Amino acid sequence: MNIAKYAVTRPVAVTMQIAALVLLGVICFMRLPVDLLPKVSLPTVNVSTNWPNVAPEEIEAQLTRPIEQAMSSVPNLYQVTSTTSNGSSSVRVQFNWGTDIGQASIDVMQRVERAKRGFPSDPTLQNPTVSKFDPNQTPILTYGVSGEDDPVKMRTLLDNQVAPMVESADGVASATVSGGETRDILVNVDPVRLRAHHLALADVMRRLIQENINYPAGIAKQGETEYTIRSLGWFTSPAELRTVPLAAPNGQIVTLGDVADVRDSHQESRSFTRLNGQPAAGITITKQSDANTITTAKAVQERIDRVQQLYPNLKFSLAYDQSKYIQNSVDDVKLNALIGGALAILILLFFLRNIRSTLVVALSIPISIIATFALLYLCGYTLNTMSLSGLALATGLIVDDAVVVLENIFRHIERDKQTAHNAAISGTNEIMSAVIASTWTVMVVFLPLMLIKGQSGQMFTQFAMVVIFSLAVSLLVASTVVPMLAARFISGEAHMEALESGHDHPSLLMRAFARAGQWFNALDDSYRNGLRWALQHRWLTIGGAFGITALTLLLIPQLGTEMMPQTDSGDFSVSIKLPPGTALDKTDSVMKQVEAILLDNKNVETAFATTGSNRVGSSSFVSYTGSITVRLKENRKQATKDVMADLRKQCSTLPGVRPNIQSRDIVSTLMSGGNASVEVDIFGNDLS
């Protein structure tokens, strides 16, 4: 079928088809989720086991090694690594790329169940937890909470009221509370009084277990109504605990209050949390695996606003926000793409020197871009920096087909004196094979990107698909919309290629067109002279080209290699590690010195510190470690790496302190799960 004749003779049909494509793209654009990068799936499963207060050597021998041996028979296994520390074991199972991570998790779980048969029978030993490793489940928000002086009330309020409200927000997987003090009823038994009444500590524990219970008591009937009867025996106050009878020697009842001191208090403090040097608690939010970061962050902020209305005494300070960096990054790419498109249209305007011609060609940009949003939505992609970069790149390639077709139509109008209707058909048909060939040549260049395996393949697939689809739409526009509009809005007289009389035209635009015409004519003359010289000195031209190419090859060793460039998010963490065995109070005093150094820096906005843990929000506590999440001011003049370098020098002056200051690079976290750039593994059986 003659597609150009169809487009020219059936303008309504072509208009409706393109309008339907654009409408679909607009609807899909409104539903597209926004994220920083395409979703990256790492084929890794983690097996975590906790055994409190047990040495690493025992855990390695009785837990880690049996799990590692069980994993050796898992299909598609690539590598097994493990980390054993005081009270915990972590086994990381990596699979080959392309492995179904869901099936791999089931295989790992089955082998862990077999390995459990050889585990020691200790009631404190917890069941192993098998989880798929998902870098998208890193915390997206961290709030520091203050305003309540009583740490027990603060922790109780966050656990029972605030955290459930936040977890009810769309997209939230969990809201983890840290800091504060967990309420406990402490029973401090006096051993002297216990022996005086001929009792043992086991007797006290047994009686507390026997008394603190709720029992079902059957069903009672009254007429046509049935009642479920329960015996409520849970303790409701410390006073009830004091009256619990333990024994009755010589007929005299001995109560718990006779041998112990019962207090409503809290657990022993194994960590301290501060926000900008003041005592505070924290709440860390993790999104669901398939949830959108920006949408989830907005939903969480709405819940936080509701919490502040219900509890006006609480103050929430944002210590870490992943969504803001993502939103800013995506907005920057959008802005650059719009600027690129505007510049492309401006260049076309001064090249064609005709407003109608420019509009005909420029229409291909929004049509192709908007239609591509439908591809992103239907393929389950997101609006991220990679897909937007593909659109930005395609913006400059989209207009090529339309320009070639339009110029050939003008050539038929001016040279052959054809009507615009006939020139649109003949000019499009004449050049269509060349346009298709050139477009396919560009599209084929991006096809190999879809064949890359691993993380790079997951990253660049969307990039390649966006460019290929947008070029395909631009080819459709060049073969249908351009000839249809050219037949109705363009005439040979309106082209004004030379605009010789434009110098004296009263319109500023026409005078600018005339000046641009002079520049393009001068450029044509220069190119013609250069081409004539190159044809007369062929061997010199070829030799010069090869020489320049060879010289550029010498620069390759000077180039670095990275999967993704480092980012400046304005967030970093400071980890402190003192000699093993350092008391928690000593670690806390050192942490206060580090916090003072951070808060004295004019670029620091918030510093959220945790003493007794190597990561804010972590549930594992080590007395000689501490961590600080630092958020810099947006209007700072220094880059994040420069601020980190200054703070690293200042913290290194503290005696006995080993500061580890690392940027919270979101891109590397999503790509590699936050692994260090360089790791040194030391192998050997002799640990010392």
Least confident residue range of 30-34, 507-511, 525-529, 657-661: 507-511
Within 10 angstroms of residue 133's Cβ, the number of other Cβ atoms is: 17
**pLDDT tens sequence across 280-308:** 888 989 888 777 888 889 999 999 999 99
Per-residue burial over 594-603, b if 16 or more Cβ lie within 10 Å, else e, is: bbebbeebeb
pLDDT per residue as tens digits for the range 5-25: 888 888 888 889 889 989 999
Question: Does pLDDT of 531 surpass 60?
Answer: yes
Task: Give the model confidence (pLDDT) of 266-279 as tens digits.
Answer: 777 778 888 888 88
> What's the confidence (pLDDT) of residue 548?
92
The mean pLDDT value for 143-172 works out to: 89
- Phi-psi region at 144: left, alpha or beta (left = phi > 0; alpha = psi -120 to 50): beta
pLDDT of the residue at 496: 47
CA distance 240 to 234: 10
Structure confidence at residue 620 (pLDDT)? 62
CA atoms within 13 A on the CB side of 83: 6
Backbone angles phi, psi at 316, to 5 degrees: -105, 120
So what's the pLDDT on residue 306?
Answer: 92
Mean pLDDT check: name the lowest of 103-107, 337-341, 490-494, 546-550: 490-494
List residues bridging with 301 in a β-sheet.
none
C-alpha distances in Å from residue 395, one per residue of 334, 343, 388, 404, 446: 12, 10, 10, 16, 15
pLDDT on residue 20 = 92
* pLDDT value for 634: 83
Structure tokens at 505: 């035209």
- How would residue 540 be classed by pLDDT, with cut points 50, 70 and 90? very high
Give the three-state DSSP class for 313: coil
Calculate the dihedral angle through the C-alpha atoms of 675, 679, 682, 683, rounding to the nearest 10 degrees.
Answer: 50
- Which strand (E) or helix (H) includes residue 454? helix 454-489
Q: At what angle do helices 355-362 and 364-378 cross, to 10 degrees?
A: 10
List 283's β-bridge partners, or say none: 143, 177
Which are the contacts of 310, defined by CB distance < 8 A and separation ≥ 6? 161
- Cβ atoms of 172 and 299 within 8 Å: the answer is yes
Helices (H), 252-354: 256-259, 293-310, 322-352
pLDDT confidence of 615, banded at 50, 70, 90? Answer: low
**By the 8 A CB rule, do 146 and 317 touch?**
yes
More confident residue, 605 or 2: 605
In three-state secondary structure terms, 42 is coil
Give the per-residue pLDDT at 494: 46
CB atoms within 10 A of CB 390: 25
Cα-Cα-Cα-Cα torsion 419, 420, 426, 429, nearest 10 degrees, comes to 180
- What number is the average pLDDT over the span 645-660? 83
Residue 546: pLDDT band with limits 50, 70, 90:
very high
pLDDT greater at residue 184 or residue 561: 184
Asked if 135 and 37 touch (Cβ cutoff 8 Å), the reply is no
| 218: CB partners within 8 A, 6+ apart | 229
Place of tokens 């020697």: 249
Can you tell me the mean pLDDT for 683-687? 75
Amino acid 502: pLDDT: 53
Query: Measured between alpha carbons, how far is residue 278 from residues 179, 281, 586, 599 in Å?
Result: 12, 10, 18, 12
pLDDT digits (tens, 9 = 90+) for 326-355: 888 778 878 887 888 888 888 878 877 777
Q: State yes or no: pLDDT of 638 exceeds 80.
A: yes
Question: What is the per-residue pLDDT for 497?
Answer: 46
Count of other CB atoms within 10 angstroms of residue 178: 24
The closest of 300, 344, 304 to 324, measured between CA atoms, is 300
C-alpha pair distances (Å), 350 with each of 194, 239, 405: 99, 89, 18
Give rounded-to-5 percent helix, strand, coil for the chain. Answer: 55, 20, 25
CA distance 666 to 570: 11
Token pair, residue 37, equals 């990068």
Higher pLDDT, 496 or 678: 678
Contact 195, 213 (CB under 8 A): no
Q: What is the pLDDT of residues 50-101, one digit of tens each?
A: 888 788 888 888 999 999 998 888 888 888 988 888 788 889 998 887 788 8
Tokens representing 591 are 């942490």
Cα gap 286→304, rounded to integer Å: 15
CB distance 281 to 610 below 8 Å: no
Mean pLDDT of all residues in 619-644: 82
Token duo for residue 359: 């509009």
Determine contact, residues 392/336, Cβ cutoff 8 Å: yes
Distance CA 552, CA 683 (A): 42
For the four alpha carbons of 585, 587, 591 and 594, in that order, the dihedral sign comes to positive
pLDDT at 304: 92
Instruction: List, as one string, the DSSP characters of 154-190.
Output: HHHHIIIIIHHHHHTSTTEEEEEEEES--EEEEEEE-
C-beta of residue 139 within 8 angstroms of C-beta of residue 285: yes
Stretch 164-192: mean pLDDT: 87
Instruction: Please state the rounded mean pLDDT for residues 160-182.
Output: 88
Helix, strand or coil for residue 369?
helix
Q: How confident is the model at residue 543 (pLDDT cuts 50, 70, 90)?
A: very high
Task: Find the farthest-apart pair of alpha carbons in the chain and give their distance in angstroms, rounded.
Answer: 127
CB count within 10 Å of CB 519 equals 10
Q: How far apart are CA 427 and CA 422, in angstroms?
A: 8
Q: How many CB atoms sit inside 10 A of residue 25's CB?
A: 23
Which of 81-90, 270-279, 490-499, 579-588 is predicted least confidently?
A: 490-499
> What is the reported pTM?
0.73
